[in-house]
Structures are given as C-alpha cells and as structure tokens.
Structure 1
Amino acid sequence: MNPEHAALIEGEPLPRERVDSFLEAPYRGAGNCATSHNGPAPATRQNEPPSVARQRRRWATQVVLTDELARRACTQRGLKVPEEVSPASVLAVAETDVADLGSIVAAALAHSQAAQTLLAALEAEQTVPEAAVRDYYDRNQDRFLTPDALRRGVTPFDGAAPEDVLPYEDVREVISRELHRAAGRQAFFGWLDQSRAGVTYSHGHEHPGDPSHPDHEHRH
C-alpha cells in the first residue's frame, strides 16, 4: 500500500491521510450488508475480517475521491467551493438514499458540501419538457388518487373515475420538481463516472466493485 497517496487524479495525488481521517470518524450512515459501513467505531473494529476492513478502506476512498472531484468541478464551473468539512460531520444517511443513490454517492453527498453544490448546479441545468411532466402524470395515476379514493380502496386498474384522481394542475409542480431532481441525479452519476476515468488507485484503495481484486463487491 502506498504510504503517501490513495489515488492519482490526472497525475495529482489524493493524500492517503484524507482517507484515514474519514475512516477514523464514526460513520452513522445506513451503509449496506455488503460492506457494513454502518459498523461500530474504529476502536471496536479490531476483530473484523480483513476482507471487510479492505472493503471499508476502498469504499472510504471513493467517498473522499468524490469530494475531491466535486471540489475541482466546482472550481472549473466558477462555483464557490465550500470549506472542507470534518469527517465527523457526516450525517446519518437514509436507507432510501442508499437504495436510490448507492452507499458511496449517498455518503459522499452527506459528507461533501462540494458534491452537494455540484449536484444543485447540475439539477438547475436540467430541462424537463411539459410533455414529460404530463406523461408522468398519465402513466402514474395510482400516485395521484384522492384521499377519499384511497380510503375506498380505488385503484386506476379497477377503472378509477375522473373525480378519484387529483387534477393535473394540482400536482404538476410536484411532478416537475421530482423529475428535475431525478434528472440532476442522473447528470451527477454521469459526471462522476466520467471524472473517475482519469483516476489511478494505489493498492488497497481500488474501487470496491473492481473485479480485479478478490474482495470485490458489485453492490456499493
């Protein structure tokens, strides 16, 4: 394991000490069963299997790397780069965010104000056509049943009456915000995949899903 850096980003080192600092802080995120990132504090991890410890380090490297890449992207876009936060400020990550984003991105967004800033900028750049909003409404009528219809057990598949469904005008803004959010997340995923293409990892810091090492786990 390289004693100085966890990875090289376009030839520039990402200090290993940043990963170490992140690992030393208690992480209260939801994590997942594959790598147990919501495990106990470091002092109580001494007996964990070596494969779990290795995966934890690889996972932490990805969180710290995402923060660094986001800082660089914010600088390139002329966005104000927030002050670096302490690893101890990582907030609990909801299981739903882990399910929607994956534990790496969910934790990075909880840890990194730069990643949050970049995500907000990407979301603001998205355009959702009116036709897409209307199409979502028409294809998901079950999400817009009135409270009375829900109490009566009505479903769109049973032939809900027009009065059983909330009017499009009443829910249009909610749908638009949701689609903008989804489009922003997709843009963030695309940016992250492209940005990581120029990264070379030191031994022991590879991506946890990299099949070239024996502990790889495709769920991350």
Structure 2
Amino acid sequence: MTEHAALVQGEAIPRERVNALLEAPRRGAGNCATSHNESAHERQRRRWATQVVVADELARRACQERGLATPDEVSPARILAVAETDVANLGSIVAATLAHSPAARTLLAELEGEQHVPETAVQDYYDRNRDRFLTPEALRRGVDPFGAPAPQDFVPYTHARDGIAHELRRAATHRAFFDWFDRARAGVEYATGHEHPGDPSHPDHEHRH
C-alpha cells in the first residue's frame, strides 16, 4: 500500500496527516445501519479528509509564496466546531479546512484585504433588497416593502451601508478563496482510496462538498 495520500507538485503528502484528521473525535461515530454502509461511509470520510489535508498543504504553500507567517500547528478537533451555516454556505470541505488550517485562515484574511466593493454595488444591493431593510416598527405593522411604503419605514442607507459592504466583501472573499482552491488543486495527484469524494471514477462518489 502506498504511504502517501496525494502528490502536490510531486511532493508526497503522508497518509499520517489524513489519519490524524480521521482520528479526531467526531459526533455520530458508529451510527451506520450496516457494515456495508459503514464501510462506504468510512471510505468517503477518508477521501473527504484527504481534501482537507491537501487544502491545508496548498494554503501553507500559498502563504509562503506571499510571505505570510502562519502557525505550524493545525487543529483536527476544530472541525467539530464548524457551524452548519458555514457548511451550507461554503461546503463541508472548505468549511472544515478553514476550521482546521491556520494557513487557510491566514490566506482567507489576505484575500479579504484584496477585495474592493464599489459604493455603487453597495447602493445597488440596498435598492434591490428593500425588504431586508424595513424598520422593526414597519415589520410589526406588516408594511409591504414592494407596495407603497413610506421612506421612514426603511433603515436609512447611511445606517445600513457598513453592514452591506461587509456582507458583499465577505462573499467576494469566499469566491476568491474558491477560485484559488480550484486552481491550486488542479494538478494534485491522489493515491487510490484518497480521490475526491465526488470523483465518478470510484463507486462511492457523491456530488456534494
């Protein structure tokens, strides 16, 4: 059996790094209905963990290329603290990577600093999503934001602006991180049993992240 889980630019990523993540305590262990289902589940879990470890390695390299200092220690147990909303918004691989990898979080912060949100985009968001900016009093009265509301029924743009800009910058940062990850892992070679969970070349594949 091969001793590596993947090759990143020809450099082996040891299986031990994947095993360390797999050995972290997890919720719901042992709840599979049958041994067959449990076996398929564990195989997919190993593939999923490989993606997280590979993402950590790629992030380390990206940080090094950018001259960014990152802590060396990763935190396998932190994947248990991933919020369900983060999984829904980011996908389980990216959400777990950001929880597990200091390098990934450092890279994300660097990417956030590179995002510019034009004022016109903030204003446009406010104008197109008026229902999100009704005042509490207008909500209590059941005001229809698309009917004939009064100007005072809405939170003023000056009060909403910073929150909108933050939300748009965060979304742009996540897109930049996804784009980086897709490019960075394009040349990764995976050992048998460590393929992407959605790779259709193996029978357990799942088209989700």
CA–CA distance in 2 between the matches of 1:7 and 1:154? 57
Question: Residue 156 of structure 1: CA displacement?
Answer: 1.3
The alignment partner of 1:49 has SS state of: helix
Which segments of structure 1 move beyond 3 Å, counting only runs of 4 or more? 44-48
Task: Name stretches of at least 5 consecutive residues in structure 2 with no aligned partner.
Answer: none
Aligned residue among 113, 128, 133 for 2:102: 113
TM-score, with normalisation over the residues of structure 2?
0.94
Residue of structure 1 equivalent to 2:25:
26
Alignment correspondent of 2:14: 15
Give the equivalent residue in structure 2 for 1:135: 124
Among the aligned pairs, what percent are the same residue?
A: 68
Tell me the distance in 2 between the aligned counterparts of 1:102 and 1:86: 19
Aligned positions of 1:32-51 closer than 5 A: 38-40=27-29, 47=35, 49-51=38-40
Shift of 1:91: 4.3
Unaligned 5+ runs, structure 1: 28-37
> What is the CA-CA distance between 1:83 and the residue it aligns to?
2.0
1:7-48 deviation digits (Å, cap 9, x = unpaired): 000111111100001000113xxxxxxxxxx5327xx87945
Q: Distance in 1 between matches of 2:150 and 2:75?
A: 54
Cα RMSD between the aligned structures? 1.6
SS of aligned partner of 1:205: coil
- 1:78 partnered with 2:77: no
* TM, length-normalised to structure 1: 0.89
**2:103 counterpart of 1:104:** no
Q: What is the aligned partner in structure 2 of residue 181 from structure 1?
A: 170
Aligned residues: 207
Q: Does 1:94 align with 2:83?
A: yes
Structure 2 residue identity aligned to 1:26 = P
Contact 1:133–1:176 under 8 Å retained in 2: yes
Which residue of the partner structure matches residue 31 of structure 1? none
Deviations 1:66-101, CA, capped at 9 Å, x for gaps? 111111100000111212224234341111111100
